[in-house]
Each structure stands twice: as structure tokens, then as C-alpha cells.
Amino acid sequence: MKENHTALSRTRSKKGKKRRRLKKVYRRLLTMFCFVIIVLSVYNYIKSDKQIETIKTHETKEAKNDQEKEIEKQPIKQTNTTITISAAGDFTLGRDETYAYQGSFDDVATQNGLPYFLEGLNSLFLEDDFTTVNLETTLTNSNEKADKTFRFKGDPKYAEILKMGGIETVNLANNHIFDYLEQGYKDTKTALENEEIGYFGYEDSYITKIKGVRIGALGYEGWQDTSVIRAQIMDDIEELREQGAQIILIHFHWGDEKQYVPNETQTSLAKFSIDSGADLILGHHPHVIQGIEEYKGKFIVYSLGNFMFGGNKNPSDKDTFVFQQTFYIENGILSEKKEINVIPFSISSVTSHNNYQPTLLNGKEHERVKEKIILYSNQITESDWLVYEKDSETSE
């Protein structure tokens, strides 16, 4: 009996194990089936969502393209305005330290204050859009000088004169900017920067935006017309155009001292620069005025002469002038339309000596200097530029 019970138990045990194994298999199959169902469901959901996203993205791109096409159909708003630019000659704010102090620019500045030097300008440079001059001095406290005959130096605070006078930027490419070597050059730039006065020349160009119009300026020493300087001019003009400059001015420090007629280098460099894309050429260095020439619809002012000139206490020729041009911008492009104003000045408010106070001329003196400019212009070519002058006289 006991043996039979043991055999039966063994049989039941084997059957139980078999059922348990089958149950495990079923559970595994069921688990795998459920897993597959879940995976398929997730996949279908993601796929469906991507399709919706793709449709939405496609619709968005189409809407954007339609919007861009609609914008293209709309008229483009372009700048229509005028820019009046004034230019004057040499600003030598200071003196050669070998000069006697009495009666020097420094002496007058100490006695009268800096606003004194601007009293004869009649706010001319404050009322235009942009003023540019030649800064022919260093503004430094350095004492290490170049080995040369004349070395000009002014107090760095003299940069305030430029600011108060309404001068936006100055040319530094001239034969006196390194009178106090590299330190003097750096100090001059710092003094200008402190007064927010722009500068250009040598390694520096200048670009600014006025009334929505970009104006660029370049400066060179133009002693010789060489392939090197021509290549530099072309590259610099191209670079300013790439920066969006619509009007480009070039200052040249060139010519022969005390000569009223430009030399061949001046005329050839000026015309090459205009052929390369310059819109106005401004010259200085002779310390006297030279004529004006129109070339391909652009103006060349060969020498503006001295202006606020601390380099000589009593020069024999005190005549100078401001060249002013109004540029017309139409639909964002520089127009051929133009207007100029040639404004006679004296570098001094008195005739007996130089008191460093440039003064607007009136009456007979105004006419005399104006005729002088016309005379020298006619020695270059006929004074066709007179047809572009304003009808009213600024001096009256």
C-alpha cells in the first residue's frame, strides 16, 4: 500500500511539473505578444505624429514663401535726402616749440580760452551735416621729437576745439602727424577719441552714418603717383563700398608749397581716384589756395590752404575758403544732382598778424578771394563748377 502511494505521488509530481512548465511557456508567449502589441502601437503613433508634423512644416514653409513673395511685391522704402558736407584746410592746433611763446597759438589759447578760436565761423560747421578738415599737428605731452625743421605740437585738450566747432572727422595723413614720433601719433588718436572725433589716413579709414546715408573717408600723402598708391586707393575704395559707403571722400596731402597751380601728380592722382569710385577730392599742403576742377561730374579741390593755422604767426597770404557740397540721395542711391558753395575766409580776423581765428569774409574781401579762386581754377580748366553754386551768398 505504501509503495503504491509512493508511485502515485511520483506520477502526480511529474504531471504537476509538466503543467507548471506549460504555464510558464504560455506566460512568456503572452508577455511577448503584449510587448509586440505595445511596440507596434508606439511605432504607429510616432509615425502618425511625424506625418502631421511634416504636413505642418510643409504648410509653414509654403506660408513663409507666400509671405516673402508678398513682401517682394511691396515697394521698397529707400532713403531720399540730402547730405551737406563742409571741408576746410590745415588745422595746426599748437606751435613749434622753438617759436617764441608770446603771440603763439598756445599763448592765445591761455589768454582767451578755446571757444575764442571759433568765433569767426558763424556756426557754419554746426549747421551742416558733416565737416572734415586736415589735422596738421600732434596732440601730445610727449617731448621726444622727430629730427626735422618744423615740429608741431598742441595740448591734447585742443581736441575740444574740433568738437565745439562741429567737426566730425580729421585727416591724419600728412607730414606733421609724426612730429613727435609714434608716441605723439598714438596720443593724438587718443585725444581725438576722447572727444569722439573721427580720423582717417594711413592704416585707418572712416565710415559713419548720417540721415540714413553711409559716408566714408580716406587720406593719403600724395607726393608721387605710383602703382603702389594707386593699388591702395582702389583697395580702400572697394572696402568702403563693401561696408555700404554711398559717398566717399578722399583727402590728399600733396603739391608744392606756396604754389597756386596744382602739379601733374595732383591732377593725375585726383582723376584716377574719381575713376576708381571717389565722389569728392580734397587737397592741402601748399599753405595757399589752389583752384577747383569738375571731372566726370565730381569735384577736385586741389588745395584748401591753411585754416586754423598755428604754424605761422603772420603768413603773407591769409586767404582760405570752405568748400561745401550738398549731395542728393534718391531711392538710396547717390544722384548726379549736386550743389556747391565756395565760401571765402581769412585765417585771421585781423590783417596785421595771425590771431588763429578763421573769419568768414564779407563784401569786397569776399569777392576778392572768390575771384582769386576762379582765377586759379581757370589755370587748370574753365570754371564750369560755378553753375552748381547756390544763388545766395553765405557771407551776407
Integer Cα distance of 324 and 317 in angstroms: 22
pLDDT of 71 higher than 90? no
Span 223-245, mean pLDDT? Answer: 98
pLDDT of 129 higher than 70? yes
Residue 396 belongs to a domain:
no
- Residues 212, 303: one domain? yes
Query: So what's the pLDDT on residue 79?
Result: 75
pLDDT of 15 higher than 60? no
How would residue 4 be classed by pLDDT, with cut points 50, 70 and 90? very low
- Residues 296, 184: one domain? yes
pLDDT of 322 higher than 90? yes
- Phi, psi for residue 260 in degrees, rounded to 5: -90, -5
Indicate the helix (H) or strand (E) that contains 5: helix 2-73
- Residues 55, 95: one domain? no
Residue 164 DSSP symbol = H
Query: So what's the pLDDT on residue 43?
Result: 55
Residue 394 belongs to a domain:
no
Span 225-250, mean pLDDT? Answer: 98
How would residue 40 be classed by pLDDT, with cut points 50, 70 and 90? low
- Of 60-69, 108-117, 257-266, 280-289, the one with minimum mean pLDDT is 60-69
Residue 104 DSSP symbol = S
How would residue 383 be classed by pLDDT, with cut points 50, 70 and 90? confident
Span 198-209, mean pLDDT? Answer: 97
Span 106-123, mean pLDDT? Answer: 98
Query: So what's the pLDDT on residue 395?
Result: 39
- Residues 298, 183: one domain? yes
pLDDT in tens, 254-277: 999 999 999 999 999 999 999 999
Query: So what's the pLDDT on residue 45?
Result: 52
Name the region of 6 (left: φ>0; alpha: ψ -120 to 50; beta: rest): alpha
- Of 58-72, 179-193, 259-273, the one with minimum mean pLDDT is 58-72
Residue 1 belongs to a domain:
yes
pLDDT of 2 higher than 80? no
- Residues 210, 279: one domain? yes
pLDDT of 149 higher than 60? yes
CATH code for the domain in which residue 87 is found = 3.60.21.10
- Residues 211, 307: one domain? yes
Residue 393 belongs to a domain:
no
* β 206-210/152-154 pair status: unpaired
- Residues 52, 159: one domain? no
pLDDT of 47 higher than 80? no
Query: So what's the pLDDT on residue 7?
Result: 35
Query: So what's the pLDDT on residue 320?
Result: 98
Residue 122 belongs to a domain:
yes
- Residues 168, 220: one domain? yes
**Which is higher by pLDDT, 13 or 202?**
202
Angle at 233 between CA 231 and CA 236, to 5 degrees: 105
Query: So what's the pLDDT on residue 26?
Result: 53
Residue 59 belongs to a domain:
yes
Integer Cα distance of 136 and 309 in angstroms: 9
- Residues 61, 155: one domain? no
pLDDT of 157 higher than 80? yes
Contact 293/302 with Cβ under 8 angstroms? yes
pLDDT of 77 higher than 80? no
Residue 175 belongs to a domain:
yes
- Residues 283, 198: one domain? yes
Span 141-163, mean pLDDT? Answer: 97
Report the chain's mean pLDDT, rounded to a whole number. Answer: 86
Contact 220/237 with Cβ under 8 angstroms? no
Structurally, the chain folds into a number of domains equal to: 2
How would residue 36 be classed by pLDDT, with cut points 50, 70 and 90? low
- Residues 17, 87: one domain? no
Residue 395 belongs to a domain:
no
Asked which of 74, 89, 116 is the last residue of a domain, the reply is 74
- Residues 171, 304: one domain? yes
Query: So what's the pLDDT on residue 287?
Result: 98
Asked which of 27, 48, 74 is the last residue of a domain, the reply is 74
Asked which of 74, 94, 117 is the last residue of a domain, the reply is 74
Indicate the helix (H) or strand (E) that contains 252: strand 247-253
Integer Cα distance of 268 and 328 in angstroms: 27
Terminal Cα-to-Cα distance of the chain (whole angstroms): 148
Query: So what's the pLDDT on residue 16?
Result: 45
Span 242-253, mean pLDDT? Answer: 98
How far, in Å, are 105, 107, 149, 208, 313 from residue 102 at the CA level?
9, 6, 20, 40, 10
Measured over the CA atoms of residue 264, residue 267, residue 269 and residue 271, the dihedral's sign is: negative
Query: So what's the pLDDT on residue 89?
Result: 98
**Domain ranges, residue 16:** 1-74
How far, in Å, are 3, 95, 188, 394 from residue 122 at the CA level?
137, 25, 27, 10
